[in-house]
Structure 1
Amino acid sequence: APPSRAVRRREDAHQPLPEELAVSMDDQRVYGPHVYSLGLAEAIDRKLLAPFEIVVLELRDPLGDRAAAERQGVPWGPGVGEEEDGSEDEVPAARIAAIQAGLVKTVVERGLERCITFHSRTIEARYFSETLNQTVEKLHFENPKKYPPEFWAQWLSGEHEVDFRKEVIGDFGKGEEDDGLRHRIVSQCKVLGEGVDIPNADSVLLQGRGSMVDIVQAIGRALRMQPGEGKTASLIVPVFLKPGEEPGDILESDSYGPLVKILTALRSHDARVVEALAVPQKSGKRTKGRSAEAAVGPGESMVGAGGGGAFTLPVRFQTPVDENVLALFIASRVLVGETQLWREGIGHARRWFEETGGLDVPYSALVGENGNYPLGKWLSDRRGENAAGELASYRVEMLDALGMIWSVSDARFEAGLDWARVWAKGHGGSLAAPARASVGGYAIGTWLSELRAAAQVPAGEQGALAPERRRALEEIDPWWCPVWPVTWQRTYAVARSWWLDSDGLVDWTRLLTDTVFEGEQLGRWVLAQRAGWPDLEEDQRDLLTAIGIEADPELVAAKAAAEAKPTVSRTDRFQQGLAALAQFVERERHARVPRPHKEPVEAVEAGPGGEDQVVVHQVALGSFLNNAKARRAKLSPGQLAQLAEHGVEWA
């Protein structure tokens, strides 16, 4: 549609800005270049604005934790609503009473005289003001030396007449010498914003509501001062803790949302003041500044960091909060919004860092109040994200500040090494774990098998085991990767445990052959070592000798003689079994051979001097038939026919 006559421009009119822009100071042709910025910290340094502090009121939520809230000792007021039955627009009376008590205590303890409380609803501002002195009277009754019997209290909203506003604002600017009331509180709802002249306040109560502009305007009410006034302003921020939360748990708790919003608003006004708080103070020393000289109230702690000049921003809590904790809080909650899972993990990492000075955390480490938070796994996951390029740079910086170890390969090896120590501790110092072994849910057997395979790769080739990793494993078990089978090493570790449990007093020659220890056939294994001594590696013989196992000459000779005998082929064994079956059937008249039966069969063999001699062999006929049946699919037709000829039904 064509523009109306009221907005139609003259064609010859000068238009320096494009039509889509009404006002913009970005066009240097009109406004010129940016010359200088006066930041909040510098303005405070120049005494143009008052230095200030943030005072956090950590309160129990009367609605969510009534028992804890009642111990706060604050009065309970009835709900007030615009409807007669109070059903609509009811104010949270219990919460307001708790905030009033915290505010009164802060105002008195810090010697504040003029405070403005900001509310998003008129009815809440009215109720806060009209019931404030109920709280003051209760605190005065409990401690008359500390608390006065009355505060000056009024409220304002846009519905008030201009003359009434002027009167209230005028009374707010008076002092104790005028009416005997030192502390003055004015509660307002969207009326004392920009463009309204009001006497200087030394404090404001902010609940983290409204837009960033509204919060900055509210803060500005406290920072204005007369030349030479020399005050320190207080930004009072109430937070309500949920059941189970403790004061000072700023990393894990979501209840500190109002503080986050206030700090975010301050950052939008002057980023340096807030961002300086995110720098961990590794030295443990606080930077100094004018506002840092203000006295810390009873039962409070203060943390703060230096800004661009001498000004520091103290953030005061009622319970001790370390500067490094605040730094992580600012980085994870104010500079960048974070999820609860990240805050929980970084919180545990920070505590580990405080206790150990770094983040060399074993993969198996469980931390937390109940010892069930897997910090080692959480850090390992962050390493994996970083290696894949999926971890944001600011998170990398947060972890770097805590001494993070980033190499994924090294981290995985360290995790495995930690579990290897656990396995070795429970297995006599040996790492000869089976391939399927696990400890604490970690596949230690697979991990060691992969490393043994890497140890076989020649040095310098791809996949070879790094020398430092080999040394780390050898520190746990020098024989973690032997040249002989790892099964031998595993049984040796069991034999050594037997020897240690017996205080080294073991007669291996009398060990029963059927002895089983820790799941290993120890008796048979020892007998095999004593008989097969010549076949062992020199290092194997040294290991056996160290625990008292030595060669048995008779067993060695018998084994050598047995090995010297000609080997009987499978075909010969079948013919031997068939001969035993024929002998059994001829005698018993059936082929139903019991499983354990052995049939004596005579055979003519060459003697030591070459002469013929008759030798009797005990043929395990029952086992022969059972094995033949199991492998009948592999028997030839001729063999099956021979068995059937002797009455074997399945053939």
Structure 2
Amino acid sequence: MPYEHREGAFPLGQWIAEQRRAFGAGQMTGVRARRLEKLGMAWSAADARFQENLAAARVYFAEHWTLCAPRSAAALDKPVGQWLSNLRRPGALSGHPEWEAALLAVDEDWNPEWPTEWRRHFAVLRELVRDEEGPAEVLPGFTVHGMDVGKWLARQRKAEVWAALAEGQRERLETVGVTPLPVTVLPEVPIRAPAEPGVPTWSSMAPVSAFEKGVAALAAVQAARTGSVTVPRAHVEALPDGSEVKLGVFLSDSKSRRAKLTVDKFAALADLGLEWAAA
């Protein structure tokens, strides 16, 4: 009998819990005990405590839509968060399949394979979009129960995060219309060989800064090739000193940040064939 169960106005669940307490304390007569036993009374104190805590767990679930409560959570004056955390420990439910069945009846994901914090965020998201049509859309900054659900959702949709999720996590997100963001493929950066002979190749420089190393790597590519050159974003160029430069990233970043480049940097890039720098 759930601790919070009532028959009409009578708190039957609490009354049964009190009978178990009296029996355990030796304060119940044999006649009363036998009458209760004929009705199926189980005297286990552990069962009684479980039912009382389960009642608190139901109250928590009704408000938070999940049993993946933080350890500090409480309901009905019960430390329900710590209680649930204890039950998730390996072997905690050994010999009590009925306890696990009761918990599953409240929340099928009460003991997920992934972090409970993830489950708490998902539970809120699911409630927010329950009656919505189309893909789930909750913007960053939308906070429920102290959790920025919008920020969390945006992170789950990132390609690298989505790929790292467990299959069950992705399945649950898909049930509420969440899909990963499309992978953005940056275009390869075309460069041309210097138009005029005699332009310094920069290969004799001793690069120090990140920009100088990028220029030296670009000069090395130009020296090794002729005509129009295409540098993929993933291209890595080795310098004579043994260091490596992510040349494709350097070129892409230089172009996107060109508003902050100095005149001499523009000139260095233009001399090495970058048309956008010359322009």
Match of 1:108 in 2: none
Contact 1:451 1:465 survives alignment (8 Å): no
Displacement of 1:378 in angstroms is: 4.3
Match of 1:421 in 2: 58
> Does 2:99 match 1:444?
no
Distance in 1 between the 2:133 and 2:53 partners?
A: 32
Equivalent of 1:512 in 104, 123, 139: 139
Deviations 1:88-123 (A, max 9, x none): xxxxxxxxxxxxxxxxxxxxxxxxxxxxxxxxxxxx
Contact 2:135 2:178 survives alignment (8 Å): no
Equivalent of 2:172 in 543, 553, 573: 543
Displacement of 1:523 in angstroms is: 1.6
Q: Given the superposition, is the C-alpha separation of residues 527 and 424 from structure 1 closer, same or farther in structure 2, using an over 3 Å criterion?
A: same
Contact 1:387 1:408 survives alignment (8 Å): yes
Match of 1:491 in 2: 121
Q: Given the superposition, is the C-alpha separation of residues 367 and 436 from structure 1 closer, same or farther in structure 2, using an over 3 Å criterion?
A: farther
Contact 2:87 2:93 survives alignment (8 Å): no
Displacement of 1:363 in angstroms is: 1.8
Distance in 1 between the 2:152 and 2:95 partners?
A: 32
Distance in 2 between the 1:484 and 1:468 partners?
A: 24
Q: Given the superposition, is the C-alpha separation of residues 404 and 506 from structure 1 closer, same or farther in structure 2, using an over 3 Å criterion?
A: same
Displacement of 1:398 in angstroms is: 4.8
Contact 1:380 1:408 survives alignment (8 Å): no
List gaps (5 residues or longer) in structure 1: 1-359, 559-601, 617-651
1:434 corresponds to which letter in structure 2? Answer: P
Q: Given the superposition, is the C-alpha separation of residues 384 and 486 from structure 1 closer, same or farther in structure 2, using an over 3 Å criterion?
A: same
Displacement of 1:513 in angstroms is: 2.4
> Does 2:228 match 1:604?
no
Deviations 1:30-62 (A, max 9, x none): xxxxxxxxxxxxxxxxxxxxxxxxxxxxxxxxx
Match of 1:341 in 2: none
Contact 2:93 2:100 survives alignment (8 Å): no
Displacement of 1:427 in angstroms is: 2.9
Q: Given the superposition, is the C-alpha separation of residues 519 and 504 from structure 1 closer, same or farther in structure 2, using an over 3 Å criterion?
A: farther
Calculate the TM-score normalised by the size of structure 2.
0.59
Deviations 1:478-522 (A, max 9, x none): 11101111010010001101111x4234453xx432222342111
Distance in 2 between the 1:405 and 1:523 partners?
A: 47
Percent of pairs with identical residues: 33
Contact 1:499 1:505 survives alignment (8 Å): no
Distance in 2 between the 1:443 and 1:366 partners?
A: 23
Equivalent of 2:105 in 475, 486, 510: 475
Distance in 1 between the 2:44 and 2:136 partners?
A: 51
Contact 1:419 1:444 survives alignment (8 Å): yes
Displacement of 1:401 in angstroms is: 5.8
Q: Given the superposition, is the C-alpha separation of residues 507 and 443 from structure 1 closer, same or farther in structure 2, using an over 3 Å criterion?
A: closer
Equivalent of 1:523 in 150, 156, 165: 150
* Residue correspondence of structure 1 range 214-225 to structure 2 within 5 A: none
Q: Given the superposition, is the C-alpha separation of residues 476 and 507 from structure 1 closer, same or farther in structure 2, using an over 3 Å criterion?
A: closer
Distance in 2 between the 1:482 and 1:374 partners?
A: 33
Q: Secondary structure at the match of 1:554?
A: coil
* Residue correspondence of structure 1 range 94-133 to structure 2 within 5 A: none
Distance in 1 between the 2:209 and 2:139 partners?
A: 34
Q: What value does the CA root-mean-square deviation take over the aligned residues?
A: 3.4
> Does 2:94 match 1:464?
yes
Contact 2:124 2:144 survives alignment (8 Å): yes
Contact 1:504 1:547 survives alignment (8 Å): no
Structure having the higher helix fraction is 2
Q: Given the superposition, is the C-alpha separation of residues 482 and 465 from structure 1 closer, same or farther in structure 2, using an over 3 Å criterion?
A: farther
Displacement of 1:437 in angstroms is: 1.6
Contact 2:129 2:136 survives alignment (8 Å): no
Equivalent of 2:18 in 365, 381, 397: 381
* Residue correspondence of structure 1 range 211-360 to structure 2 within 5 A: 360=1
> Does 2:162 match 1:533?
yes
Displacement of 1:444 in angstroms is: 2.1
Q: Secondary structure at the match of 1:394?
A: helix
Q: Secondary structure at the match of 1:514?
A: coil
Q: Return the structure number with greater relative CO, CA threshold 8 A, min gap 6.
A: 2
Q: Given the superposition, is the C-alpha separation of residues 603 and 378 from structure 1 closer, same or farther in structure 2, using an over 3 Å criterion?
A: farther
Q: Given the superposition, is the C-alpha separation of residues 465 and 551 from structure 1 closer, same or farther in structure 2, using an over 3 Å criterion?
A: farther
Distance in 2 between the 1:363 and 1:468 partners?
A: 16
Equivalent of 1:406 in 37, 40, 43: 43
* Residue correspondence of structure 1 range 1-80 to structure 2 within 5 A: none
How many residues align? The count is 199
Query: Radius of gyration: which is bigger?
Result: 1
Deviations 1:501-559 (A, max 9, x none): x4234453xx432222342111211122112011110011100111111112437x89x
Match of 1:16 in 2: none
Q: Secondary structure at the match of 1:436?
A: coil
Q: Secondary structure at the match of 1:544?
A: helix
Contact 2:136 2:176 survives alignment (8 Å): no
Q: Given the superposition, is the C-alpha separation of residues 499 and 393 from structure 1 closer, same or farther in structure 2, using an over 3 Å criterion?
A: same
List gaps (5 residues or longer) in structure 2: 187-207, 215-235, 240-244, 255-279
Distance in 2 between the 1:389 and 1:535 partners?
A: 56
Distance in 2 between the 1:399 and 1:507 partners?
A: 52
Match of 1:393 in 2: 30
Q: Given the superposition, is the C-alpha separation of residues 523 and 474 from structure 1 closer, same or farther in structure 2, using an over 3 Å criterion?
A: same
Match of 2:183 in 1: 554
Distance in 2 between the 1:604 and 1:528 partners?
A: 30
Distance in 1 between the 2:120 and 2:52 partners?
A: 23
